[in-house]
Amino acid sequence: MAAIALPAELTMAEASVTLQALLPAIAAADAPPVIDASTLQILDSAAIAVLLECRRASAAIGRELKVEGLPDKALALARLYGVAGLLTDVAAD
């Protein structure tokens, strides 16, 4: 399966629409879903919330979600909230 790409901007304003686009792609995945976050440039804590909801949706169908290319700002937010280990293979320090 090809990676599911995040948009360049994922803030509170885009979170609902983005999540509604991602969830069907995750549900339709015939292999563990992969989210490509490398294009993500403008983000806030809503991006982390969307990724966590995608992780829950993937777990609900028995698959482990993989997030690739998570930008440093997103990783810093995930670490701040104590959830970096849920989104990446990087230790949460």
> Per residue of the chain (93 residues), what is the pLDDT tens digit?
679 999 999 999 999 999 999 999 999 988 999 999 999 999 999 999 999 999 999 999 999 999 999 999 999 999 999 999 999 865 444
Which residues, 6+ apart, have CB-to-CB distance to 51 below 8 Å? 35, 37, 67, 74, 78, 87
Query: How much is the pLDDT for 92?
Result: 42
The CA distance from 45 to 4, in Å, is: 20
* pTM (two decimals): 0.91
Pairwise CA distance, residues 64 & 57, whole Å: 10
Identify the CA nearest to 66 among candidates 51, 83, 49. Answer: 51
Residues 6+ apart with CB under 8 A from 16: none
Q: What is the pLDDT of residue 1?
A: 62
Amino acid at residue number 56: R
